[in-house]
Amino acid sequence: MPGPQDSLERLQVGENPIISLEVQMTGDYLPIRIKVKNAETGASVEMELETDNTIDEVIESAATFWSKDMGAYVLRKGKKVLRGGSALDAAGVRADDVLELIPDPEGG
Partner 1 sequence: MAEPLTIASTEQDRFDRSRRISWLDLDSISKSRIFIVGAGALGNEVAKDAVLSGFKDISIVDMDTVARSNLNRCLFFREEDVTAKRNKADAVARGLRDLYPDATVRPVVKRIEDVDDCDLRTARVALGCLDSIAARMHVNARTYSLGIPYIDGGMEGFSGKVALSLPPDRACLQCGMNRTHAQVANLRFSCTGSDVVFHEPRLAAEITTTSIVSAVMVREALKVVSGHPEMLLTNAFFYDGARNSCEELEIPLDPDCPVHRTPSSGYR
Residues that bind partner 1 (CB under 8 A): 39-40, 55-56, 59-60, 63, 69-74, 76, 79-81, 83-85, 102-108
| Residues in contact with 54: Cβ distance below 8 Å, sequence separation at least 6, in sequence order | 84, 85, 86, 87, 88
Minimum separation from the CB atom of position 76 to partner 1 (A)? 6
Nearer to partner 1, 27 or 107 (CB): 107
Q: Give 6 or 69: the residue with its C-beta nearer to partner 1.
A: 69
Q: CA distances (Å), 92 to each of 11, 43, 54, 84, 98, in order?
A: 26, 23, 11, 13, 12
CB of 96 to partner 1, least distance (A): 21
Smaller CB distance to partner 1: residue 30 or 57?
Answer: 57
* Cα–Cα distance list, 78 to 41, 71, 95, 97 (Å): 18, 22, 15, 10
Instruction: State the minimum distance, in angstroms, from the CB of residue 16 to partner 1.
Output: 23
